[in-house]
Amino acid sequence: MKTNKIILILFLTVLFLLPVSGITVEEIISEIDRNKVSSTQEFRAKMFIKKDNKVLEKEYTGYGQEEGEKFFITFTNAEDLGVKYLKIEDELWIYFPDADDVMKISGHMLRQGMMGSDVSYEDMMDLDKLEEKYDSELLGEETINDSLCYKIKSTAKTDDVTYYSQELWVDKKTFVVLKMDLYAKSGRLLKQIQQFNIQKFDNKYYALNMTIQDMRKKDTLTTMEIIEIKFDIKIPENTFTKQNLYR
């Protein structure tokens, strides 16, 4: 009888350690990162910033390169017309047309929200692959918005990250993250991100709509909507330069 109990415990232990649906967490993370990979991007998008009972609408166009290592964004809505952002690796600049001046965003300023949104400048800088900065474990499966998802917990390998840990709900069919909870080291939930309107582009899937909510603030929500996006296109020369901010 005692032997049977030991065998049962060993069986349950092995069963618990087996990957869900025969896939490993490393393979899932690899697919998530692959969906984000493109040599270049060109996009046009809108951002809606809800604060209390007010909603601010922004519109911008831009280019991206080398998996988020570089991007150049120009705002085109009337209120912010001509405001530009340039990111090159770990550096970020903003151009103000009224003052005809460029300011580098660094230090405590990185925690501020872009255009007052729930998207911080730190978020804009933190575009690395998950596998590079996080160790992940597969917790199981859950349904989000009628889609069966892998549930994953990722914990930072080092302290130089914006969020110490993340909980991800990854669509089993597309490997797009449909929901993401971002935590501080203390365990406090800092932000929640959800993605919708998943579209296929050649061999990758991409979300065209996203909501970001800063859980430390009351009655705020930022919605981002990609109107048009192209991958692996030729980008005009000198796009990712400080000189281009003044043009």
Domain range annotation of the chain: 22-245
Burial 84-98 (b: 16+ CB within 10 A, else e): bbbbbeeebbbbeee
Closest CA to 117 of 92, 154, 90, 80: 80
Is 12's pLDDT higher than 70? no
CATH code assigned to 22-245: 2.50.20.10
Q: What tens digit of pLDDT does each residue of 211-240 get? A: 999 999 988 999 999 999 999 999 999 999
Least confident of 77-86, 130-139, 178-187: 130-139
Distance (Å, whole) CA 204 – CA 225: 18
The pTM of the full predicted model, rounded to 2 decimals, is 0.85
State residue 88's pLDDT score: 92
